[in-house]
Amino acid sequence: MTVIDVRKDPQALTLTFVAEFDAPVEQVWQVWADPRRLERWWGPPTWPATFVEHRFVVGGRSRYYMTGPEGEKAGGWWRITAIEEPHRLEFDDGFAGEDGEPNTDMPTTHAVVTLEPLGSGTRMTTVSTFPTLEDLEKLAAMGMEEGMRLAMGQIDAVLAG
């Protein structure tokens, strides 16, 4: 994997992330479409995600929760707004309470995922749009925690290797 490019646009409140994988587009599409594959990478290393619902159609809803090291749970939801298999996916991503219902106090981000063939591999571009600066601040606060978990996950991987 190579992270090709990261573009941050404070004015438009977007983060664009471009990565390339050594796998065909159809296979990369499956890591989004198949909930069993999706839950293996969506959550941070120590907060694995479990998708209890994943209706991968336009207008479809996904519900998931992530389980922390001490068994604590954090819920989330998606609403799919566009699908062009296997090249384009758009969805809203938000937080949910313990009952699985969307938490409207928390920010919702919009994600646009594009997969393009690149030789025998795939270029994946994700564009995340944040609704307001305050929302970005809230998400960044959580991102910091995830970043720390990421670092710990990397250490684990080195030790296991």
Partner 1 sequence: MVVRERPVHGLSPDEVDRIFHGLADATRRDIVERVLHEAQSVSTLARRYDMSFAAVQKHVAVLERAALVTKQRRGREQLVHGNPEALQRAARLLDDYERIWRHRVRAIEDVLAEDALAGDPEERTEP
Chain contacts with partner 1 (rule: CB under 8 A):
1, 3, 6, 8, 10-11, 13, 15, 17, 19, 21-23, 26-28, 30-31, 34, 36-37, 40-42, 44-45, 47, 66, 68, 74-76, 95, 103, 106, 124, 126, 128, 133-134, 136-147, 150, 153
Cis peptide before 86 (omega within 30 of 0): yes
Torsion angle of alpha carbons 124, 128, 129, 135, nearest 10°? 180
Shortest distance in whole angstroms from residue 40 CB to partner 1: 5
Closest to partner 1 by CB, 80 vs 127, is 127
Alpha helices in 10-132 (DSSP H): 25-33, 35-38
Q: Give CA–CA dist 9/121, Å, rounded.
A: 27
Shortest distance in whole angstroms from residue 30 CB to partner 1: 5
Shortest distance in whole angstroms from residue 82 CB to partner 1: 20
The DSSP symbol for 156 reads H
